[in-house]
Amino acid sequence: MNGTQNQNLLYLESLCQELYSSKSQEQRAKAEKLLDNAFPTFSEALSPRTNGSNAMPNNPLGIKIQSPAESSMYCQWLLENSTSPYSQLFASARLKSLVLDHYSMFTAKQKLELSMGSFLFNYLAVHPDYQPFVLSSLAQLFATITKVGWFEDDEFKNITNELSKFIQSTVDHRIVGLQVLSTIVSEMNQQTPRNMARQRKTAIGFRDSQLLDIFRLGLVVLRQILNGETVFTNERKVKEYCLTLLRNCLAFDFIGTTPDESGEDVGSIQVSSSWRSTIEDPTFLQTIFEAYKRFQPPHSSQVMEVLVQISSIRRSLFNEEERSKFLHALMQGISEIIISSIGLSDLNNYHEFCRLLSRFRSTYQWNEITEKSGYSDWIDFVADFTIKGFNSWQFVPNSVQYLLTFWSKMYSSAGRSRPGSPNKLNMISSKLTAAYISSKIQSVEQILDGSIDDPLENEDALMDDLEMFSNIARNKYDESQKSINDVFQPIFNQYKELYTQVNVGIVNSSYTQFFDTIETKFAWLMYMIGGMIGGRQTYISTEDQDLIDGELTCQILQLMNMNEQWNAPRTSGSGYEKFELALVYFFQQFRKSYIGESAQRVSKVYSKLSDIGYNDQSMLLNAIIQRIAKNLEGWGHSSKIIQRSVSLFNDLAGGYSSVRILRKLDIVQYILRNHTIKNFPFLDTSNNLRSRMVYYSALSRILFAEDNVERDFEDFVKPWDITLTELGAFNSLNAFRQPTVKATISGIFRDLRGFLSAIQSKKNFLVFFEWFYPQYVPILYHALEAWDNDPLAITILKFFLEFVSNRQQRLNFDISSPNGILLFRETSKVISTYGRQIIGRPFNSQDKYAEKYKGISICFNILTKSFAGRYVNFGVFELYGDKALEIVLNTSFEMMLCVPFDDILMYPKLSKTFYDWLDTFTNEHMMALHNMDSNAFLYIMPNFNAVLFEESQNQWSLSRPLLCLILLNPDYWEQYTRNLVLCQLLERRDVLAKALTSLMQDVEFNLISKNRDRFTQNLTTFKRELTNDNVILVAPPMDMKMTM
C-alpha cells in the first residue's frame, strides 16, 4: 500500500472502532454516517439523477464509488489489509448487505470470486485464528453468498467438498470449517418475506444435494473424537461446533411447513428418505448415546439436544422391522441413562432428558412402545424417574411439564386402546397421581418462605400442567379420588379446628401464617380437582366417573360453605387470595363439564350433589353466583380475583340455557337492582377498569335474556340516569375538570361500553339508543373539550366507537327513521370536537402513540365503522346543505396531516385503522376527493411507497385505496413513476420502467370490484417479478416535490 492508502486504512479502522466500541451515541452515529458514505449500500433513498451517474456524494476517502460491485471491492480491500477485528466485522457485515440487496448486479466472475474463488474461501483459510465474532460474521457472509448464488453456478453446490478440506487440516481450520458449515445449514433454513418461493427452492436443492453429506461429515468428526483418532489441542471448540452442526442439520425444515418450529417441542422431523441408511445404521444411535456418556457438561447437554431431535424423526422413514429396531435401541438407551443416572445430576442434562421422553412419546405410538420386549421394566424405570422428578420439582421446575406430557400422551392413547390392555399403566397412574399431589402439598411451606418461586403465580404453565395431570388422574379415577381424599380430609379437619379456635377467640400471633399455609394447600387441591373435572370428555366419560366428579364437587362445596360460615371473614392474606382464585377456577372447570345444554345427560353428578342440598343446576348456579357476588363485594383490591370472577360470571351469562336460569335467580335479580359502586366497591378501583366492562357485558346479556324488558331496563339504568343527569347539569368546562367528575365520567362510560358491547339485536339496541340519545350525548362533547389531553378522552372515543358499530346489523333502523343520519351528525361533532383539540398539540416524543396517535387511530376507526355500517344515507347531507360530512372529512384530513407518514407505518394499530379508513373513504366518498386539500392529497400519495416497498402481510388492504387515487390524478402517477425510475441504479431502470408499465395493464377507468381486483393482481405480479429477479428497489424520498 502507498502512503495515502495506509492513511485511509488507519482512518477507517478508527471509524470502525468508534462504531462498535464508543460509549458516546453521538460518536457512534457520526462514525456510522461516515462509513455509510465510504462504503455505500445503494439501498437508501436518493434524489432523482439524470446525469447517468450512480456516484455517491461526500465520500470521506475522496473515491467515487459508482456501483455495489465497486463498494464490495473496497470492502474486500479493507478485509485483506486491516488487522483490526472491528474493521473486519464491519467489512464482512457490509459485504453481506451488498450481496443481499444487489447480488443480481454482480458479474458471474465477481460472484464466484467473492465466495468460492480467490477471496473469501482463501481468506478463511489464511485467517482461521481470528476473533470468534469476526469468524461468525465471515461464516454468515459465506452462507449468504452460497444461498443467493445457489442457482448461479454449480460451484456454489460444491461446498461440502471444498469445506471438507478445512475439516482435514489443522484444529483451527477444522473449527472454522464446522462453524461455516453449521452457519450455512442455519442460513439455508431461514426464510425472509422477500422472495420466499425462490428461498424455498434453494432450500430444497440444498437439502437434496448437500445436507446429508454435511450431516455425515459431522458424524465422522464426532466418531473421531470418541475414538481418539485425532488429538485436538482445542477439543472443547471442536465438540461444540460439531454438535451444533448435527443439531442444525436435524433442525432443518425438510418439507417447508415449520420454519420456526422444527426445533421446538411440536411435530416430527421430516428427514428425507435418502437419510434412511444413515439413521438405520446401528452404529448411529450407539455413537450418539456413547457421546452423551463420555462428554461432560455443557457438551453432554448438547448431545442430549441431538437425541431429542433424533427421537422426533418421522416414523414413516423406517419400514416396520427397522422401526422396531430403532425404537428398541432408543428405549434401551433411555433405560441405561435412568438406571445408571448418567449425567442427570446436571440440570441442563436433566431438562433435555425430560424433553427426550416427551418427544419420544409424541413420535411413537402407544402400541409400538408397549409391544417391545422389556417394556414392563422400561415403563417402571420411567415411572420411578418421574416420581423422583415430581418430588424434586423445585430444582427443575420447567422440566415437570415434559414428564407430564409423556404420561398424558400415554394415558390418552391407552384410553382409546382395547379394554384390559393397559393394566401396567393403570397400576402406575395411581402412583403418579399420588406423587404429583403430594409434591404440590409438600412444596407449600417452601413457597411461603420465599425460598422457591410459586408455580401458582405462573397461570399459563399451571393451566397446561393441570390439563395434562387430568389425563393421568382420570385413567384410574377411583384411585386418584382416594389420593385426593387422603390429603384433603386431614387438612380439612385442621382447617375446621382452626376456624373453631378463631371463632371462640383462642388465637395467637401465628394463626395468620397457619391459615396461609392451609389455604394454599387447599388452593392446590382445588386446582387439581378442578383440572380433573375439567378433563371430562363428553360421551366418553362413564357414569362412575361422573359420580366421582359429584363426590369431589361435594367436598369443595362443603369447604366453601364452612369458609362462608366463619364469623369474621378475611379478605387478606396470600393464602386466602390463592384459595379464592382456585375456587373460581374450580367453578369454571365445573361449568365447562356440567353446566349448560348437556345438563340432563349428566344427572349422576347432581344425584351426588343432592346429598348436600344442591338438587339441580339452578341451586348450584345460585351458590356459584353468591360466591361471585361475595368476591365482587369484598375483593376489590385483588384484580386477579375480580378478573376471574367476572370472567366466570360472563361465561355463565354467555350460555344459552344457563343465562335463562340466571335471569330467574334471586341473587341475580339483586345484582341487577344493585349493580353500582355502592354495593360492589370493586367498580371504584382503578386496577379493575377492564373487569368492570366485562361485568356490565354479563349484566347486559342477563338483562336482555328475556323479551319485553323495557321496564327492567328502566330500573337497571336509573343509577346511570341520576349520574348522567348530574353531569348534564354542569354549565362550564371547569366543572367537568374536577377530579371527582373525571373519575365519574371515566367509570360510567366504561360501564356503558361494556353494557353496549353485549347487545346484538336491533330491538335491544334501539332500547339503549332511545334512552341515551339525544339527552346524554352533549356530555361527550363537554368531556372531550375538558379532558382532551388525558386518557379519559380515549375512554370517551372507545365508547362512541362501540356506539356506532353496526355489529349484527343492530343499527339498521327502519326506513322511515332518521336515526342513522342523526347518529352520524353526532359522530361528526364528536370527531371534530376531539380533532380541534388534538391537532397541532405538542406531545412527548417518547410516548407519542399514547399521547396523540391512539386517539387519532380510534377516530379513523369510528369513521370506518360509520362509512361501512350502511345505516346512513350520506347524500342527504349535501342535498340539504348539512355540513356534518364535510366537517368530519376535513377534520380527518387535518388529523392525518399531523401524523408523520413514517409514524403511520411504525405503529401497527395506527397503520391498520388508517388504511381501513382510507379504503372505506375512497370506496364510499370518492366524489369528495375533488375538494380535498392539496396537502392532504400529497400526503396520501406516498402510500405508493408503502405498497411498492414495504413487506406487508396485508398487501390487499394497502393496495385497494390507491387505484382510485391513480385514476383521480393520472398525471401525478406518471410523475411519481418517472421519479421512481430515476431513483434507481442505472442498471435497473429499464427493467423497472417495463414492470411499471404492466402495472396498469387492462385496468379501466372505473372502480368496480372486478377492476380493483385486476389492479391488485397486477400489483402482486409486479412485486413477484421483481423479487424473482432479485431486484431491490430504492424508494424515492418522502418529501419529493410533485406538481398537482
Q: Which three cell numbers stand for residue 309?
A: 431431535
pLDDT at 523: 96
pLDDT at 1039: 54
The model's pTM is: 0.88
Give the Cα separation of 814 and 865 in Å (integer).
Answer: 19
Assign 50 a pLDDT band (cuts: 50, 70, 90).
Answer: very low
Assign 748 a pLDDT band (cuts: 50, 70, 90).
Answer: very high
Comparison of pLDDT for 574 and 406, the residue scoring more: 406
111: number of CA atoms within 13 Å, CB side?
22
Assign 1044 a pLDDT band (cuts: 50, 70, 90).
Answer: very low
pLDDT at 163: 87
Q: Is 104 exposed, middle or buried (0-12, 13-18, 19+ CB in 10 A)?
A: middle
Residue where the block lists cell 323479551: 707
Cis omega (within 30 of 0) for bond into 298: yes
pLDDT digits (tens, 9 = 90+) for 353-403: 999 999 999 999 988 999 999 999 999 999 999 999 999 888 888 899 999
pLDDT digits (tens, 9 = 90+) for 131-163: 889 999 999 998 888 888 888 777 778 888 888
Write down the domain spans for the chain.
941-1028
pLDDT digits (tens, 9 = 90+) for 348-359: 999 999 999 999
Residue where the block lists cell 402400541: 367
pLDDT at 47: 45
Rounded alpha-carbon distances, angstroms, from residue 85 to 6, 98, 176, 608: 17, 20, 16, 76
Other Cβ atoms less than 10 A from the Cβ of 565: the count is 10
DSSP 471-495: HHHTTTHHHHHHHHHHHHHHHHHHH
Give the Cα separation of 289 and 333 in Å (integer).
Answer: 7
Share of the chain above pLDDT 90, in %: 55
pLDDT at 630: 93
Give the H/E segment covering residue 279: helix 276-280
Can you list the pairs that 70-79 forms with residues at least 24 positions away whose Cβ atoms lie under 8 Å?
A: 71/39, 71/40, 71/41, 71/42, 71/98, 72/98, 72/99, 72/106, 72/110, 72/114, 74/38, 74/39, 75/39, 76/114, 76/119, 78/9, 78/12, 78/39, 79/123
DSSP, collapsed to helix, strand or coil, labels residue 101 as: helix
Flag whether pLDDT at 265 surpasses 90. Answer: no
Mean pLDDT across the stretch 880-897?
Answer: 91
Q: Which of 185-194, 718-727, 942-951 has the lowest mean pLDDT?
A: 942-951
Q: Which three cell numbers stand for residue 233?
A: 489441542
pLDDT at 105: 80
Give the Cα separation of 43 and 419 in Å (integer).
Answer: 68
Q: Which three cell numbers stand for residue 285?
A: 444411535
Mean pLDDT across the stretch 80-107?
Answer: 89
pLDDT at 262: 42
pLDDT at 261: 44
pLDDT at 419: 47
Flag whether pLDDT at 423 surpasses 90. Answer: no
pLDDT at 1030: 66
Other Cβ atoms less than 10 A from the Cβ of 21: the count is 10
pLDDT at 275: 97
Mean pLDDT across the stretch 434-446?
Answer: 93
